[in-house]
Structure formats: C-alpha cells, structure tokens
Amino acid sequence: MGRRLGIVFAGPFFNFLFAVVAFAVAFVVGLPSLLPEVGEVKPDFPAYQAGLQPGDRILEVNGSPVKRWEDLAKVIHESGDRPLHLKVEREQKAFSVSVTPRSPARRIFSGMTCRLG
C-alpha cells in the first residue's frame, strides 16, 4: 500500500518540482523580450511615410530611451495624435525622424511586425 501511494504521489510531486525549477531558471536567466526593431513596414502607413525600413531599431522616443517593444507600444498608445520624435539606428548610423500617429487608431506602426531578440 505504501509503495502504491509513493508511486501515485511521485507524478504530481515531480510536476510541481519541475515548475518550481523552470520558474527559477526563467527568473535567473531571464526571458527573451521583443526588441524595438522594425520587422516589416507596409505602404500607406505613417511609419512607411516617415522612411522607416525593416531592420531599423528605435533607440529613443521623444528623448526617452527604448529598450523593449512594450516600452515603444506604451509611448505610442499614450501619444494620441501628437507627433513622436524617434531616434533610429540603421546600419550602425543613428538619425532622427518624426512620425505622427494616425487617428483614430493611434497606432503608427499598424501593419508592422517586430523581431524577437
């Protein structure tokens, strides 16, 4: 009886143990995040009209550094219809560009994908 109980208990216990170890590793090592890098730009959108190209990396928005795609998306969402001043890196050269979000969607990067890094 004790042996059967041990076998029945072992499965859920090791599932729990695996989850604890997996979360600990993810916390220590970190999880990949989306980089603020342009993957695709579709014509007739403000990002295209501003001259952004696939592979461009957004370094700053309105003077604030951008490290992750989520940071960029938050600033875009909060900007309303106000122009955004971007510092962009292309082929190891930095330049500035101004982009005005499109109303009413307020998403300047509609139709643009990002890259996982």
Would you give the distance in Å from CA 6 to the centre of its chain? 45
- Residue 105 or residue 21, greater confidence: 21
Residue 89's pLDDT band (boundaries 50, 70, 90)? very high
Strands 93-99 and 114-116: unpaired
Query: What pTM was estimated for this model as a whole?
Result: 0.61
Token couple for 7: 């076998």
pLDDT (mean) for 6-32 = 88
Would you give the distance in Å from CA 22 to the centre of its chain? 22
What does the pLDDT read at residue 6?
Answer: 85
Token couple for 75: 């600033």
